[in-house]
Structure 1
Amino acid sequence: MSTDNNQVEEMNEHRELTIKDISEILDEEPHTVRNWLKELEGYIPYERKRNNYRVFKKEGLERFKLIKYLNRDQEYTLKEIMLYLDTGGEAFKPIPKIDADSMLAEEMRKMRERLDELEQRDQERDHLLKNILGQLEKQNTYIQHSLKERDENITATMREMLEGKRLIAAAKDDNQEEPKKQGWLQRLLGK
């Protein structure tokens, strides 16, 4: 089939084509080709012969092929095709046809990427949580040690205070039990 297309291409390079020839090559109805020509006349190169027929060369055929592709395959309206041709194809870029398998494969690839990204975030979060937990355990150990040391210091201080109070009380008791020293006059009188 490609040899037929090559032969048609070689034949078309040197030959002038009519609307009927173009419609056969494009596998379109002649009235469709005429409508495209009427709506997009300034965009399709052609010449007029003495009999007032329009004839097209290779450039005209290529333009018709592009119009068919945009209209049939890409579903562009004639106005969109005009804009496309006015901007040199910049206004609308033809969208390549994607089959269901490649669409599914692309979606699967995107989902895998997202899953990998989420797994990496999950691992980073776990690592961070382990670090925080380790810091909290160190802090808890330090606090427990500090509280124990404080409690021991308070207990020792209280023991010292109680011992001091006991010694003071004992000293007072010792002072009360000793007889008062009597002066020489009191001893003499016996009081």
Structure 2
Amino acid sequence: MNQTEDLNEVHLTVKEAAGYIEESPGVVRNWLRELKTHIPVKQGKNGYNYFDQPALERLMLIRRLNREQGYSLKQIEYYLATGEEKITPEPVHGAAENIRGDLAVIMERLDLQEQFNQALVTKLDEQQHYIKESLNRRDQLLLESLKASQEARKAEVKKKRFFSWIGTR
């Protein structure tokens, strides 16, 4: 649509109005949900919202307040509800100091957690070493026991052969 056309005679859909004010249709629909009482839309027989010149002017104002002046939708709603009374943000005293204090506490706790984690890893390494050593000692004892058992069996077999050899003579 040519912007020089007479907007009094035009009724735009949400998509067309969004294009006219250079916003997305989703943004315009969100503004309609949040600020419906302040946007003079015409509702068609089909239930759709249509925008004429006053509605487009209101959308452009909302866009300026939101995009250029950084107003939130709640602030825009207040602005429109109070007859366009300017909003001056209240200064936030001490917020930065509170955040810095919280951050310092978090960093301190993070350092303590890192120390705990390192101590835990060291302890786990020690336990793993102890388990390996214990298993190696056990395996060594089992091997020695197995060798002794095999040697005893060999000695017994030799005795039996010897006595059976003697018995045959």
TM-score after normalising by structure 1: 0.43
Structure with the larger RCO, 1 or 2 (CA within 8 Å, 6+ apart): 2
Larger radius of gyration: 1
